[in-house]
Amino acid sequence: MTGSLLFMAIVFLAGAIICVSLAKRLGLSSVIGYLLAGILIGPYVLGFIGEEGDDILHFAEFGVVMMLFLIGLEIEPKNFWNMRKTIIGMGGIQVGGTMLLSFLLFSLLGFDWEVTLVISMAIALSSTAIAMQTIKEKGLMPTTFGTSAFSILLFQDIIVIFMIGAMPLLANTGNTTTTDEHSTTANLIESLPLGLQTLAIISSVAVIIVLGRLIIVPMLRKVAKTGVRELLIAAAFLIVFGISFIMELVGLSPALGAFLGGVVLSNSEFKHELESTLEPFKNLLLGLFFMAVGASINFIVIAKSSLTIGGLLLAIILLKALVLYITAQVFKLKLDQKLLLTFSLAQVGEFAFVLLSFAFSLHILEQEQMDMMLVITALSMALTPIISMLNERVILPKVGTKQSIKRPMDHIAKSHKIILVGFGHFGSTIGRFLRSHGIEATILDQDSNRVDFLRKMGFEVYYGDATRLDLLESAGIADAKIIIVATNKLNVSKAISKIVKEKYPHVEMLIRTKNRDDAYELLNLGHENIYRESLETSLAMASEVLHKIGFRKYTLKRQVKNFIKYDETSLRRLAKTSKRGDDYIFKARKELQEQEELLGADFKRGIVDFDKHWDSEHIRKALENSTTKL
């Protein structure tokens, strides 16, 4: 049944496509869809996938590596350094606390101390794949919760290196055969004395930094010069594979190495190119990873000792949640952020698979113990999205909105209700200007710290995901006159505008977009009031330049208005022919093509002298050839 590679590929891809689109339609996270697909095609339901599930899991862990590389790309070294206290503080409390509690728990259950320690280490680690994927999908990275979760996960990525390193020591006390069959996992570091180990770790980090600066960036420049698109994809993979290889060679986590590599490249000019190249591959690999997790859930083990597993699963999740809540408490997070953190990291993560199977191969764990823990890990990962969803739909709405202060609105604000989505740099300017006219917009924002502060300032603020109809409704969309979508995330503004257009077509929508591409998409969805954030600022700069070399200000001002009109027309014209969507591969080329087209049209338009107002030279010339006198 599970023969050829082609067949496997078809099973995985079809499973993913069917289940993920189903999950999305039901408004669930894509992670649930992938897990479901894995369970379906796994050995216990349809049986398409058998033993090879484990190999796939290892292969798919590469998705996690890529994800960390991409996360690294978005973090500039300076910010990373600024986060060091949160990383060590929060991560330390979380890992230490969880290990302590689970050590107590499993000791009480009568396990050997080596086994208990291995299991505690495995439990302490959360799933970077699930948590980060969810955080990014919901655009929560810039919130306090996002950075806290990220810090903890990063700390775990670092600490796992030491855990893997410590594993053979545990084996020595019991069974001394760290045998040949594990030579694949043996690495350079283990054979070194402790001092040199540290040195090796530091120097390999240094190697990555130096590689990034001195080799990778110049290499990318060369590749970019060739103009061969697929070479860039190859180069992107080469970077990630290369870093992983070096890290595995010295025994560090490839994910950590990839993260560092990403940070090093984050302020190079190739940041966006690398991002858009690797993004779809990363998503697919992560999907594969989740499917493999789903497929590895051993329903026979569950059936045999369902009560033990159920009890342990519950105990472990509660225990992790408790420690996370305390960690958040220590770092003074707001209540809703605390809850988000608690529920999103309460699972046992993919590192557990690595640790447990390594411990098994070192004969620390027995087959049954490993199977049981693997099942618990997989189940806890599968439960995470469900728990998070419950938190978001049931608990958070009560916590998030109960603090809202009702302000008496004057009658203008009442009869002209305005909703403002997103109060970042862009939205806040809008909100301040409206307020300076006595118009109080109802604000929706995702950062609870900001929400808190805005409430103190007397704004009517709702916390949460504005793509949810119920939140829009509790913010009063039904009575609103205008909704301003000031977020810079296209998928968020698309989702909001779709809902509003469908359910509340009478509400006028003003939508901010980053660039032409996003504007095309929104125009093609039938939205008219699109505001490109870069248009007027760049023209202001351009006209300032022209002024500095002698052009008259008032003429420039009128020319800018005229250019905007011309550009809006061409935007609408080009929107009709643009069919881009998620076509990443050809995006850059299409963008170039389009710029060419725009510049071509500009060239035809020539140097514009768009009107003859107040132009006495023009009148003079006309009069020269006529008999009439003025």
Partner 1 sequence: MKKILIIFSHPKLEKSRANRSLIEHIRGKDQVTIHDLYEEYPDFHIDVPREQQLLEQHDIIIWHHPFYWYSCPPLMKQWIDMVLEFNWAYGPKGKALHNKICLNAITTGGSKEVYCSAGYNSFTVEQFLRPFEQTSNLCGMTYFPPFAVMGTHSISDEVLHNYKISYGKLIDLLQADLSLQDFEKLSFINDIPQLKTT
Q: Which residues bind partner 1 (CB under 8 A)?
A: 551-557, 613-620, 623, 629-630
Distance CA 548, CA 546 (A): 5
Work out how close the CB of 564 gets to partner 1 at its nearest, in angstroms, rounded to a whole number. Answer: 15
Distance CA 116, CA 122 (A): 10
Work out how close the CB of 552 gets to partner 1 at its nearest, in angstroms, rounded to a whole number. Answer: 6
* Complex with partner 1: residue 470 or 611, whichever CB lies closer: 611
* Complex with partner 1: residue 226 or 626, whichever CB lies closer: 626
Distance CA 462, CA 518 (A): 26
* Complex with partner 1: residue 411 or 437, whichever CB lies closer: 437
Q: Which two tokens stand for residue 481?
A: 């006159």
* Complex with partner 1: residue 34 or 563, whichever CB lies closer: 563
Answer for the pair 257, 208: CB distance below 8 angstroms, yes or no.
Answer: yes
Work out how close the CB of 557 gets to partner 1 at its nearest, in angstroms, rounded to a whole number. Answer: 5
Work out how close the CB of 535 gets to partner 1 at its nearest, in angstroms, rounded to a whole number. Answer: 17
Work out how close the CB of 617 gets to partner 1 at its nearest, in angstroms, rounded to a whole number. Answer: 5
* Complex with partner 1: residue 81 or 614, whichever CB lies closer: 614
One-letter amino acid for residue 615 of the chain: D
Estimate to the nearest angstrom the gap between the alpha carbon of 587 and the chain centroid: 20
Q: Which two tokens stand for residue 285?
A: 């690999």
Secondary structure (DSSP) of 75-95? S-HHHHHHTHHHHHHHHHHHH
* Complex with partner 1: residue 286 or 535, whichever CB lies closer: 535
* Complex with partner 1: residue 78 or 621, whichever CB lies closer: 621
Helix-strand-coil percent breakdown of the chain, rounded to 5? 70, 5, 25
One-letter amino acid for residue 437 of the chain: H
Distance CA 592, CA 611 (A): 32
Work out how close the CB of 621 gets to partner 1 at its nearest, in angstroms, rounded to a whole number. Answer: 10
Answer for the pair 461, 488: CB distance below 8 angstroms, yes or no.
Answer: no
In sequence order, the 6+-apart residues with CB closer than 8 A to the CB of 395 are: 339
Q: Which two tokens stand for residue 266?
A: 């984050």
* Complex with partner 1: residue 85 or 553, whichever CB lies closer: 553
Work out how close the CB of 611 gets to partner 1 at its nearest, in angstroms, rounded to a whole number. Answer: 9
In sequence order, the 6+-apart residues with CB closer than 8 A to the CB of 592 are: none
Work out how close the CB of 571 gets to partner 1 at its nearest, in angstroms, rounded to a whole number. Answer: 24
* Complex with partner 1: residue 502 or 617, whichever CB lies closer: 617
Answer for the pair 47, 1: CB distance below 8 angstroms, yes or no.
Answer: yes
One-letter amino acid for residue 451 of the chain: V
Work out how close the CB of 613 gets to partner 1 at its nearest, in angstroms, rounded to a whole number. Answer: 7
Burial of 169-202, coded b for 16+ CB within 10 Å and e otherwise, reads ebbeeeeeebeeeeeebebebeeeeeeebeebbe
* Complex with partner 1: residue 222 or 553, whichever CB lies closer: 553
CA angle 89, 94, 99 (to 5 degrees): 130
* Tokens 């306090």 belong to residue: 144
Work out how close the CB of 539 gets to partner 1 at its nearest, in angstroms, rounded to a whole number. Answer: 14
